[in-house]
Amino acid sequence: MTEDVLNAAILRMRAKALENFALIKDLYHRAATRETVDQICSLSLALAQYEGAMITLQQYAANLSSLTENEKKHTIVEMQKEVEELEAEEPEEQDESEEPDKKILSGEELAKRSPTNRRTSARSKRPRSKKKEQE
């Protein structure tokens, strides 16, 4: 994960917090209805959650970006496994692409296996009638 991803998460939470603040402010300046209190309560709870999450991420950003030695080793091992898996998959894909070439049948083999081919071949070998030849 890059620092940009973490900053994007912080900014998204800030935007959500500001959105809730604006909605509360809007409700405050309107005429009160029966739902106004409930709406302000739910919006203020969401505002507090987004603000808290944003502040928490800002505080832990430095710690999140640094890895311990064990985490570095573990990350390297996982990356090596992924590379090995990808390399193992590539030959299989090549084998699959070669299979259609191997499945091309010769004319004799096709004649043995395909009844349709045999019928069309038999028709082309039959002598034509005199009427068809005259036309």
Q: Is residue 127 part of a domain?
A: no
Domain co-membership, 74 together with 60: no
**Of 8, 2, 10, 21, nearest in space to 54 by CA:** 10
Residue 37: Cβ-neighbour burial (10 angstroms; 0-12, 13-18, 19+): exposed
pTM > 0.75: yes or no: no
Domain co-membership, 62 together with 79: no
Domain co-membership, 47 together with 89: no
Q: Is residue 129 part of a domain?
A: no
Integer Cα distance of 4 and 114 in angstroms: 62
Q: Is residue 135 part of a domain?
A: no
Q: Which residue range(s) make up the domain with 37? A: 1-66
Q: What is the pLDDT of residue 47?
A: 97
- Asked if residue 43 lies in contact with residue 24, where contact means CB atoms within 8 angstroms, the answer is yes
Domain co-membership, 23 together with 61: yes
Domain co-membership, 4 together with 50: yes
Rounded to 5°, the CA angle 72-65-46 comes to: 130
* pLDDT tens per residue across all 135 residues of the chain: 678 899 999 999 999 999 999 999 999 999 999 999 999 999 999 999 999 999 999 999 888 877 767 777 788 888 888 888 888 877 655 555 555 556 676 777 777 777 787 777 777 666 665 555 555
Number of domains the chain contains: 2
Structure tokens given for 110: 């096709």
Domain co-membership, 48 together with 11: yes
